[in-house]
Amino acid sequence: MSRQHRQRERRAFVSGATSGIGLAVAERLAADGAQVFICARDAEAVARTVKELRDQGADADGTACDVRDAGRVREVVEEANAPAPVNVVVNNAGRGGGGPTAQIADELWDDVIATNLTSVFQVTRGFLAAGLKDAGWGRVINIASTAGKQGVVLGAPYSASKHGVVGFTKALGLELAKSGVTVNAVCPGYVETPMAQGIRKGYADFWGVTEDEVLAKFEAKIPLGRYTTPEEVAGLVGYLAGPSTDAVTAQAINVCGGLGNF
Q: What is the pLDDT of residues 81-134, one digit of tens each?
A: 999 999 999 999 999 999 999 999 999 999 999 999 999 999 999 999 999 999
Catalytic residue among 158, 190, 203, 227: 158
Residue 1 has pLDDT above 70, yes or no: no
Give CATH for domain 3-189+230-254. 3.40.50.720
- CATH 3.40.50.720 positions along the chain are 3-189+230-254
Q: What is the pLDDT of residues 180-230, one digit of tens each?
A: 999 999 999 999 888 888 888 888 888 899 999 988 989 999 999 999 999
Q: What is the pLDDT, as a whole number, of residue 155?
A: 95
**Among this protein's residues, is 190 annotated catalytic?**
no
Q: Kindly provide the b/e burial profile for residues 40-65, where b requires at least 16 CB atoms within 10 angstroms of the residue's own CB.
A: bbeeebbeebbeebeeeebebbbbbb
Comparison of pLDDT for 13 and 207, the residue scoring more: 13
Q: What is the pLDDT of residues 140-191, one digit of tens each?
A: 999 999 999 999 999 999 999 999 999 999 999 999 999 999 999 999 999 9
Q: What is the pLDDT, as a whole number, of residue 197?
A: 82
Q: What is the pLDDT, as a whole number, of residue 193?
A: 85
Residue 2 has pLDDT above 50, yes or no: no
Q: What is the DSSP string of 105-134?
A: -HHHHHHHHIIIIIHHHHHHHHHHHTTGGG
Residue 6 has pLDDT above 80, yes or no: no
C-alpha separations of 181 from 225, 227, 246 in Å: 36, 31, 8
Q: What is the pLDDT, as a whole number, of residue 160?
A: 98
Q: Is the dihedral of CA 15, 19, 24, 29 positive or negative?
A: positive
